[in-house]
Amino acid sequence: MTLSSAPGKVYLFGEHAVVYGEPAVPCAIERRARVEVRRRDDDKLRVHAEDLSLDGFTVEYGGQTDDRPDVDVSEGLIDAAMGYVDGAIDQVRDATGEDEVGFDVTIESDIPLGAGLGSSAAVVVAAIDAASRELGVTLERDEIARRAFETEYEVQDGQASRADTFCSATGGAVRVEGDDCRSIEAPDLPIVVGFDGGAGDTGALVAGVRALREEYEFAGDTVEAIGDVVRNGEDVLATGDLEELGRLMNFNHGLLSALGVSSRSLDAMVWAARDAGAYGAKLTGAGGGGCIVALDPTDATETALKFTPGCEDAFRAELAEEGVKRLE
């Protein structure tokens, strides 16, 4: 049996624009997915999932089946269990040369599912690491990140970027622009996360931005403006100027709102954080619902969010300096 964990992430800057080759700066946070893997005597997969925002469940099926298991849980949760885990296991089979191997996979996570905190990336990264080690192969973090991206790219119909998976595999703050992924220095950021209890439809939101870019030239200019914010933001990040960093986060949120990917609940949490004195606040991830990220070294933003209608949870999140962890 092997056990690995991988962190979730927040975007300081750059979501959506990163899909079009602009840079993005996500940061890993100490909210983790843990994946335990045991090799089976056959080629089937048995997936047991807990704490993925909904009730836990267990599914056993042949790893190559095209049919969904007949279980009464949400389609999104089944996608997490089958699509991402199947893809991760396919990557492990390819990396190890063991094509007929099966696994018992147990997933536990304290990352809200589909909320913009990189839950799927964390599950895929941890699953690839744990399953490959169960077969006696230890992959380098860069290779885990590459294979995890290929998994997300396929499951998300080509709409994934390398940002989430690279950040989850390596930890810390990272800069992603196209295929160029690298770690960057960051101060000890006072990150506060607000969660509305929901989840946006990533595919629909990405498609909506694409449609806007095709219809309006200024929508393309907006995406490029987000890239400009990111470039300024990474310079500021190096100086540790949290006030300026917050201002740029506010700009980034405004541009994302203009692209139609915010929501009433996200905007309400953003303004609650700003009114409480946060340096800055913005949505994180695809949008449409889910989470916002704010910078505030005091307790004021977390307290304000807990009293904001539509906010289900608020918590402080430390920067995860280490990415994938090998626990057993």
Residue count of the chain? 328
**Annotation says 164 is catalytic:** yes
Distance separating alpha carbons of residues 91 and 12, to the nearest angstrom: 30
Residue with tokens 């770690």: 183
Rounded CA-CA distance 241/245 in Å is: 6
What value, to the nearest 5°, has the Cα angle with vertex 26 and ends 20 and 27?
170
Name the nearest CA neighbour of 142 among 169, 164, 115, 124.
Answer: 169
Q: In this structure, are residues 13 and 256 in contact, taking their beta carbons and an 8 Å threshold?
A: no
Amino acid of residue 308: T
Q: Which residues of 220-251 are buried (b: 16+ CB within 10 A; e: fewer)?
A: eebbebbbebbebbbebbeeeebebbbbbbbb
Q: Is 180 exposed, middle or buried (0-12, 13-18, 19+ CB in 10 A)?
A: exposed
- Binding-site residues for ATP, in ranges, read 112-122
* Residue labelled with tokens 């169960």: 134
Q: Given the structure tokens 């700003």, which residue do they identify? A: 274
How far apart are the C-alpha atoms of 148 and 127, rounded to whole Å? 9
Helices (H), the chain: 75-78, 85-96, 119-134, 141-155, 163-170, 202-215, 217-239, 242-258, 264-275, 300-306
Amino acid present at 290: G
Return d(Cα 31, Cα 121) in angstroms, integer: 12
Among the listed residues 164, 241, 275, 296, the single catalytic one is 164
Q: Which residues are catalytic?
A: 164
